[in-house]
């Protein structure tokens, strides 16, 4: 068995990261303010190894080929790391836990590849169901494309939950209580709360959806994250979701949930960045999300846990998704709009309650 000195490996990675950060920020107004970024990277790697989030064999995945400073970008991490002005602004904001945004971006190195790898079958499932009900538009402005953004929302939820945990473990920032939050995409009438530093719009929508999945209904917020993460790493979460909804003959409702999550994700992207605002209809989106939250909360899945074996949905269109939420034409048997009307009508009528309970 290979003998490894993880401490030395981390030190080498930090030195390489420091060199790239300093090069990225030379001749900028923040050239003397990069020390905390480097220290945050060191602490993240050490804590990730300590708490088991980073497996030693995956440590190399947290190396960056390059570091870029882009004052007009919001920040992004994949094989390269783009740092925005937002980070330095938040360092001076007493209402924001320091390093939270950096921990979030580092955590994408874990979750984004997993989501891309594991959730492709859900895209195939979406394509299969939409074709079955008569969709013919699968371009970048279609319902299919919108629904694919739901999985990006999941990625962001998971990375932010990880950032909150690392912020508490490394920096001692006690987790906030859930509270009403100011949203760029919802009105104050939104029926949810959050204890996230950022991406508050996603938290309860994701959690309430997760509780409709077999095996998740009785879990608290922390347990949902842990179980979803484990099943994502196992490669079984897509089957669990599809199997749960197929068993209840609710495939159309599942597509409807994906589309709404995709719309929320696209609205959030539209409003991201410093001093930006959402250009869409906040009231309409708020009403739609509130109705969906009500539906999800009524349909918590309390069945005994079991794992599902689902066929692989290989057939799917390939394109680079663009932001756009134009509806595709739909036909019988049941369209997305018809399913939406049915679900929402059920919610308003206790007489029809049995139709929507799992």
pLDDT at 300: 97
Q: In sequence order, what are the beta bridge partners of 68?
A: 82
109-130 tens-digit pLDDT: 999 999 888 888 898 999 999 9
CA distance 40 to 163: 12
**Is the predicted pLDDT of residue 320 greater than 50, yes or no?**
no
Q: Which two tokens stand for residue 209?
A: 């959806």
- Res 352 pLDDT > 70: no
What's residue 97's pLDDT?
75
Q: What confidence tens digit (pLDDT) does each residue in 150-201 have?
A: 999 999 999 999 999 999 999 999 888 999 999 999 999 999 999 999 899 9
Question: Is the pTM value of this prediction over 0.85?
Answer: yes
How deeply is 54 buried, as exposed, middle or buried, from its count of CB atoms within 10 A (0-12, 13-18, 19+)? buried
Does residue 71 have a pLDDT over 60?
yes
């Amino acid at each position: 068995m290979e003998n490894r000195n993880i401490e030395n490996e981390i030190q080498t990675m930090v030195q390489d990261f420091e060199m790239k950060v300093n090069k990225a920020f030379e001749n900028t107004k923040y050239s003397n303010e990069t020390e905390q970024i480097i220290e945050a990277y060191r602490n993240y790697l050490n804590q990730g190894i300590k708490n088991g989030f980073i497996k030693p064999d995956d440590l190399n995945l947290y190396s960056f080929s390059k570091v870029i400073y882009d004052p007009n970008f919001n920040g992004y991490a994949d094989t390269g790391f783009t740092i925005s002005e937002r980070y330095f602004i938040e360092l001076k904001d007493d209402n924001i836990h320091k390093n939270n945004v950096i921990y979030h971006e580092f955590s994408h190195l874990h979750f984004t590849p997993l989501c891309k790898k594991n959730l492709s079958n859900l895209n195939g499932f979406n394509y299969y169901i939409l074709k079955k009900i008569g969709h013919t538009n699968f371009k970048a402005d279609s319902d299919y494309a919108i629904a694919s953004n739901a999985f990006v929302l999941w990625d962001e939820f998971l990375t932010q939950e990880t950032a909150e945990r690392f912020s508490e473990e490394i920096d001692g920032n006690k987790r906030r209580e859930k509270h009403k939050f100011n949203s760029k995409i919802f009105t104050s009438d939104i029926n949810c709360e959050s204890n996230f530093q950022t991406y508050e719009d996603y938290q309860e929508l994701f959690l309430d959806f997760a509780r409709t999945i077999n095996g998740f209904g009785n879990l608290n917020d922390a347990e949902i994250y842990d179980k979803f993460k484990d099943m994502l790493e196992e490669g079984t979460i897509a089957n669990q979701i599809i199997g749960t909804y197929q068993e209840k003959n609710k495939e159309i409702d599942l597509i409807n949930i994906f589309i709404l999550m995709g719309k929320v994700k696209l609205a959030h992207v539209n409003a991201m960045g410093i001093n930006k605002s959402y250009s869409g209809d906040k009231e309409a989106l708020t009403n739609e999300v509130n109705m969906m939250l009500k539906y999800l909360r009524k349909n918590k899945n309390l069945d005994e846990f079991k794992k599902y074996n689902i066929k692989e949905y290989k057939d799917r269109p390939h394109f680079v998704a663009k932001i756009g939420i134009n509806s595709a034409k739909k036909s019988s048997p049941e369209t997305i709009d018809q399913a939406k009307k049915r679900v929402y009508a059920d919610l308003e009528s206790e007489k029809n309650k049995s139709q929507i309970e799992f």
